[in-house]
Amino acid sequence: MFSSRSGFWPALPALILLLVFFLFPVVRMLGFSVEAGTLDWYAKALGEGLYLRVLWNTFEIALLVTLFCLLLGYPLGFLMATTTPFWATMGFIFVLLPLWTSVLVRTYAWMVLLGRNGVFNRMLMEAGITSDPIPLLHNFTGVLIGMVHVLLPYMVLPIYGAVRKVDPAIPAAAAGLGASNWRIFWRVWMPLTLNGVFAGCVLVFVLSLGFYITPALLGGGRVIMIAVLIEQQVREALNWPFAAALSAVLLAATFAVYTLAQRFTQPETAR
Amino acid sequence: MAARGGSAELLIEGVGKRFGDVVALDHVSLSVAQGELLTILGPSGSGKTTLLKVVAGFETPDGGTVKVGGTDISALPPARRDIGMVFQNYALFPHLSVKANVAFPLEMRNVAKPETERRVAEALAMVELAGYEARLPKQLSGGQQQRVALARAIVFNPRLLLLDEPFGALDRKLRETMQLEVRRLQRRLGLTTIFITHDQEEALVLSDRIAVMNKGTIQQIATTTEIYERPANDFVADFVGESNIFHGTMSAPGAVTLDGGRTLVVRSDRQAGAKVGVLMRPERFASGGTNQFAGEVIESVYLGTSFKLRLACEGGLELLVRQPARGALPAAGAKVAVGIDPEAIHVF
Amino acid sequence: MDTRKLNRRQAVALLGGAAALGAAGPAFGQAEPAKPAQLVVNHSGGSMGTAMRKAFFNGFEKKYGIKVVETSPVDFGKLRAMVDSGNVEWDLTEIGGQDAIRAGKANLLDKVDPKVVDRSKYPATAQNPFVFASSVYTTIIGYRTDVFKGGTQPKSWADWWDVKKFPGARSMRNHPTDNLEFALIADGVPKDKLYPIDFDRAFKKLDQIKPHVTVWWSTGQQPAQLLLDKEVVLATGWNGRFYDIIKKGAPVEIEWNEGALKQGSFAIPRGAKSPYWANKMLAELAIPQQQAVYASELGYPGLNLESLNFVDAKVKPYLPTNYLDKQFWISDEWYAENGTKAAELWNAWMLKKA
């Protein structure tokens, strides 16, 4: 008992910080949404097809982005954690580089690469692979590529950490006991790095939900995410109660998804 | 275990391995008979772990072959070698229960469920862990984890059992119990076993034969008594047990003149003029004997059953001597005389 | 030698002082509020900031000895938060057209002081008591001259909608403003009968063009970039952005007919620290010669129509004030009332499949 109580004090500054910079604004925001003493703004957010559809779209995009980040990020994080220090450093530089450039710059770079007359299409056409440019930009594909690029580091780093934490003797033991690489991966690596995978997925998913610059620029305007609508309510319509209600709905939905995901990825216990 | 006979003899021929400039294994050859327990004993960096990894398939040798039961397995991946291994830190699957851990090699071999159940239960009974099936490794003590690792390594009737310093993490008492238990189990199953350790005492307790390794080569491979009584060189003599080692020249048949000038009567057919090493084990000294030494006690330790004395003798000789603990422990400065018979002196 | 140089410098200083006295002349009767150390002007930043510094801020600093501190971006939400909390950092801020109308009504702004700022030469649309119209910009058609050669470009919104006669990928703004009006004009509504907007009619017309719009742009530099990269051959966009790439030699031209005019606005937040000096700054923004400097930089002329007389003949064809009759004014008043509704309908229309 004593030790748990004394363990509380060092965490106090962090708790106060969270309280002031996270909890207080959230409560304030929730306050805005019921300012008028009614739940009318919630009724509008949940009742009008537009907002539910955009919310659904947003989750769909976030889910896909998370999936692609996982598919790319797991092998990358795994390789970085198991290769020589030189290649690990190179990997880190390339993975972290996007974090040091602004989202806008990265997005414009993709526009240069993916456009009708962009680098990719010119290469494909010169190589004779296609005669007409492939639409990579100003559609869903463009949004996916751009967002996956921006968010990949958030997937790679926790997975890298999780892989590094596994005692290399454990997969070796599995191999010695007759497991093929495929089975070592699914029976040993996957469950032992699930924490990292979960952390990476949650990070990428939640960050995806708040995106709007990248989808607006790379999606040709067709891909609408909830953050765009919230921003419109804050900056254009000046309807803060409604913006708050939309944010609250997004927050609640995010928590729901998080809880669900946690339930599913609970590390397997005694069988 | 129902189906026995998985166990086979091991033959290592001319295996070499370099890591950059470091020679980890220098043309190592050895054989282990079916059902034998061979200990590879050596200090850290001697190459013993590399040799084990080569046998298990985790390390590819630069040359040489590894044969099990007459078949060359050098090119096989670890998964297809059918070798059970217990790792230093056990390498249990932390996310799997005891039962799932032990069942793992059977699962990988697609053994039918009832058969798996039966064999897992048998293996757990053998290591006295029946009833612990549902526990996770972290809910077990170190000794129990060790037993799980052992059960997991033998449950699939491996051709070989490899033990990589498995007792290092256990306290002394538990270690001794586990050593005896492993020995009993190995005998009972007739498992060809290689045991890696840097602890010479452990090696003496467990082994049929011991291979002493240093700097990538095998210094001597022999039975435990042979290693102890008749070491092949300084390194083995020094590494295994307590010893007094001197160097000298055969001055006549049956006589060695040590470099310090003292002449000892020995049993040896080495020719006169040969440079030789002389080993006298501390416990082989008695009050009387052909070769007499008179000295002064520099240091004395009481060990319960014996006294351990360090003596400064004439001619600059320093001797380590063990005497049955009888009477008072000689104090530093006391004069003591000891003797040793020629039969108790090993010349190499 | 040395003494003579000193003397000359002193003479210049004296002259400058006299000029400053003269400039302060009209307000001399009343006590002039104390000069603050700095005046904070908030604007969109980027090339606009550079042009404003060149055309207005440098002169203002020299004239009054008050440092002009620039901040950006323009943010209506932040303006509201500042005024509500009583902690107003900005002395003057740029503000979007319809936002300005609403901000005035929401009591977030101070009135422009007519005694300091002379707007007698301004058109009637630019006389809002709370809002100073600093410049004019228009949403018009930009086109690739290598695709539409020798005047074959679309010359009206009806042409824009005619994808058979004028084929090619198009880009339009991802916003109801402009597009609703363009659709109605294309559908035959006269330019002076656009408001109130008939949503059904506008969106029905927009349905026709939707499949041919490759990019719905959301930032100002997108349309120019899209034309440059040949992602599209036709784009609606703000005249200044096209002017910028035309100046640099891009194969792009502007069709001015039926452009949607809007005014760039500045306003003084209520509770600003130096409202008098903010008005002084507005007076600076109203000087036609300075407006001409600004217009030559960006292609956004001021609404003091005299300023056209001070621009280079080569620049004049790229200024929207040169074509006021061919174009129409977006109604900020209508959007102030109906903007939210329009945005919701627009989003819903965007989400509609096909």
- C-alpha closest to that of B10 among B206, B212, B217, B193: B193
Of C132, C153, C157, C130, which Cα lies nearest the Cα of C265? Answer: C132
Tokens of A96: 């972290």
β-pair partners for C273: none
Q: Is A228 helix (H, G, I), strand (E, B) or coil?
A: helix
d(CA B137, CA A64): 37
**Alpha-carbon gap, residue C339 to A74, rounded angstroms:** 46
The answer to whether residue B5 scores a pLDDT higher than 80 is no
B121 at interface of A, judged by CB pairs closer than 8 A: no
Per-domain residue ranges for chain C?
A: 2-23+37-136+264-310, 137-262+326-351
What residues in chain A have their Cβ under 8 A from chain B's Cβ atoms? 167, 169-170, 172-180, 183, 187-188, 191-192, 267-271
Closest CA to B40 of B250, B244, B286, B209: B209
Domain ranges of chain B: 10-234, 243-347
Q: Which residues pair with B347 in a beta bridge?
A: B278
- Contact (Cβ atoms closer than 8 angstroms) between residue C52 and residue C291: no
C211 — contact with chain A (CB < 8 Å)? Answer: no
Express each pLDDT in C125-137 by its tens digit. Answer: 788 899 999 999 9
Q: What are B234-289's pLDDT values in tens digits?
A: 999 989 988 999 999 998 888 899 988 888 989 988 888 889 999 999 999 988 88
Percent of chain A clearing pLDDT 70 (strictly above):
95
Residue A1 lies in a domain: no
Comparing alpha-carbon positions, the chain A residue that sits nearest to C231 is A116
Q: What is the pLDDT of residues B191-214, one digit of tens each?
A: 999 999 999 888 988 899 999 999
C349–A contact, CB cutoff 8 A: no
**DSSP three-state, residue A11:** helix
User: Do at least 3 CB pairs under 8 Å connect C with B?
Assistant: no
Residue positions counted in chain B: 348
The pLDDT assigned to C30 comes to 57
> Rounded to an integer, what distance in angstroms lies between the CA atom of residue B202 and that of residue A212?
67
Spatial separation of the C-alpha atoms in residues B83 and B159, rounded to whole Å:
6
Name the nearest CA neighbour of A230 among A80, A60, A54, A4. A54
* Cα B132 to Cα C155: distance, rounded to the nearest angstrom: 86
* pLDDT reported for residue A108: 83
Query: Hey, what's the torsion of the CAs at B97, B100, B104, B106, to 10 degrees?
Result: 160
Closest CA to B325 of B297, B295, B296, B304: B304
C-alpha gyration radius of chain B: 24
Of B8, B45, B42, the residue nearest B193 (C-alpha): B8
pLDDT at A85 over 70: yes
Within 8 A of B56 by CB-CB distance, chain A residues are 176
> What pLDDT band is residue A112 in, cutting at 50, 70 and 90?
confident
Between β-strands C92-95 and C252-269, what pairing exists: parallel, antiparallel or unpaired?
A: antiparallel
- What would the mean pLDDT of C154-168 be, rounded to a whole number? 96
Q: Specify the pLDDT at position B175.
A: 87
Q: Where are the alpha helices (DSSP H) in C38-137?
A: 46-52, 58-64, 76-85, 97-105
Question: In terms of pTM, does the model score above 0.90?
Answer: no
Q: What are phi and psi of C29, to 5 degrees?
A: -60, -45
pLDDT in tens, A52-80: 999 998 999 999 999 999 999 999 999 99
Distance from CA of B51 to the nearest CA of A (A): 15
pLDDT band at C354 (very low <50, low <70, confident <90, very high): low
pLDDT at C8: 46
Chain position carrying tokens 């000895």:
C65
Residue A34 counted as domain residue = no
**Contact assignment for C174 to A232 by CB distance below 8 Å:** no
Amino acid at A114: L
* CA separation for the pair C289, C297 (Å, rounded): 13
Topology (CATH level 3) of domain C137-262+326-351:
D-Maltodextrin-Binding Protein; domain 2 (3.40.190)
Cα gap A251→A29, rounded to integer Å = 11
What is the fold of B243-347?
Answer: OB fold (Dihydrolipoamide Acetyltransferase, E2P) (2.40.50)
Q: What does the DSSP assignment read for A109-161?
A: HHHHHHSTTSHHHHHHHHTTS-SS----SSSHHHHHHHHHHHHHHHHHHHHHH
CA distance B6 to chain A (A): 15
Whether the pLDDT of residue A114 is over 80: the answer is: yes
User: What is the ipTM for the molecules in this complex?
Assistant: 0.81
How many CB contacts within 8 angstroms connect chain A with chain B? Answer: 77
Same fold, B10-234 and B243-347: no
DSSP three-state, residue B50: helix
CB contact under 8 A, B78 and A172: yes
Smallest Cα–Cα separation from A64: which of A177, A135, A4, A146?
Answer: A146
Exposed, middle or buried by CB within 10 Å (0-12, 13-18, 19+), for B93? Answer: buried
Residue A127 domain flag: yes
Does residue A66 contact residue A264 with C-beta atoms inside 8 Å? no
Q: What is the pLDDT of residue A18?
A: 84
Instruction: Write the DSSP assignment of A139-152 as a string of letters.
Output: SHHHHHHHHHHHHH
Q: Which chain B residues are closer than 8 Å to A175 by Cβ?
A: 57-58, 77-79
Helix (H, G, I), strand (E, B) or coil at C156: coil
**CB proximity B114 to A under 8 Å:** no
Contact between C310 and C292 (Cβ < 8 Å): yes
Nearest-5° Cα angle at C224, C222 to C225 = 60
Are residues C97 and C128 in contact, defined by beta-carbon separation less than 8 angstroms?
A: no
Tell me which residue has tokens 């005891």. Answer: B98
Number of domains in chain A: 1
Q: Does B165 touch chain A (CB under 8 A)?
A: no
pLDDT at residue A40 above 70?
yes
pLDDT band at B1 (very low <50, low <70, confident <90, very high): very low
- Rounded Cα distance, B123 and B140, in Å: 17
- pLDDT score recorded for residue A39: 87
Give the CA radius of gyration of chain A.
22
Structure tokens at A56: 């659904």
Q: Provide the shortest C-alpha distance from residue A213 to chain C (in Å).
A: 9
Q: How many CB pairs under 8 A join A and C?
A: 69
CB contacts under 8 A, C 39-78 vs A, are 75-77
Q: Would you state the pLDDT for residue C2?
A: 41
pLDDT band of residue C24 (cuts 50, 70, 90) is: very low
With beta carbons under 8 A apart, name residues in chain A contacting C77: 234-235, 238, 240
**Which helix or strand (DSSP H or E) is residue B347 part of?**
strand B345-347
Print the domain residue range for A119: 39-265
Q: Which residues contact B311 (CB under 8 A, 6 or more apart)?
A: B293, B295, B296, B297, B298, B318, B319, B320, B321, B336, B338
| Architecture label for domain C2-23+37-136+264-310 | 3-Layer(aba) Sandwich (3.40)
CATH number for the domain harbouring residue A249: 1.10.3720.10
Give whole-number Cα distances, B337 to B257, B330, B334, in Å: 20, 12, 10
The amino acid sitting at C273 is K
Please give the residue of chain B at the shortest CA–CA distance from A191: B95
Give all strands of the β-sheet with B306-313 in edge-to-edge order. Answer: B318-324, B306-313, B291-302, B335-340
User: Domain B10-234: which topology?
Assistant: Rossmann fold (3.40.50)
Rounded CA separation B158/B104 (Å)? 13
**Neighbouring C-beta atoms of residue C139, cutoff 10 Å:** 24
Name residue, tokens 């006389």.
Answer: C127
Task: Copy the structure tokens of residue B291.
Answer: 């070769």
Residue A3 covered by a domain: no
Place of tokens 């319960």: B304
Q: Considering only CB atoms, which chain A residues are within 8 Å of B92?
A: 170, 173
Q: Which residue in C245, C248, C215, C218 sits closest to C233, CA to CA?
A: C215
